[in-house]
Amino acid sequence: MPELAEATLLRIFVAENDRMHGHLLYHALVEKARDMKMAGATVLPAPVGFGQSRMVRCELNVDAGPHLPVVIEIVDTEDNIARFLLAIDGMIDSGLVTLEKVRAVFYRRAAQPSAVEATPLP
């Protein structure tokens, strides 16, 4: 049985085309997480959803505009998540942020120290 550690799951619900300084918000959040050396981040697109505006956004509803929902998930220690939340304060104009306690196993492949430097940001 692998060892499970206490961790926190952060989920950020925003619109796919939300922007910050001309960059896609979800992309900016992932890059911020990467800069802060968070354990990881995953973006999950959603085909349908609605938020505060009550407007149902879906691929087929052209009237609602291109505002499909997207969820960014980050799992890390409680402290790291707190640091990240402070760092992104002000980045999210409209959206939802939730926190959950989870138990986690981080599987880490043998160190590849050059991997980070070798991949320039797009």
Partner 1 sequence: MEVLHDAVLLRIFTSVADRWKMGPLYLGIVEKARERHLAGATVLRGPLGFGQSGKLHQGHLFPSTQDLPVVIEIVDSEDKINSFLPVLDEMMESGLVTIEKAQVLHYGRQRASLMSRLKQQLGIGTKPPLVH
The residue among 60 and 116 lying less far from partner 1, judged by its C-beta, is 116
The residue among 53 and 100 lying less far from partner 1, judged by its C-beta, is 100
Least CB distance from residue 73 to partner 1, whole Å? 8
Nearest to 15 by CA among 81, 86, 92: 92
Backbone φ, ψ for residue 26 (5° rounding): -65, -30
The residue among 53 and 99 lying less far from partner 1, judged by its C-beta, is 99
Q: How far is CA 76 from the centre of its chain?
A: 12
Which residues would be at the binding site for partner 1 (CB under 8 A)?
A: 1-2, 4, 7, 9, 26-27, 30, 33-34, 37, 39-45, 73, 75, 100-109, 112, 115-116, 118-119, 121-122
Least CB distance from residue 37 to partner 1, whole Å? 7
- Tell me the CA distances in angstroms from 93 to 8, 30, 104, one per residue in order: 23, 16, 30
Least CB distance from residue 90 to partner 1, whole Å? 22
- How many alpha carbons fall within 13 Å on the CB side of residue 8? 15
∠ CA 28-16-121, rounded to 5°: 30
Which DSSP letter does residue 65 get? -
The residue among 55 and 99 lying less far from partner 1, judged by its C-beta, is 99
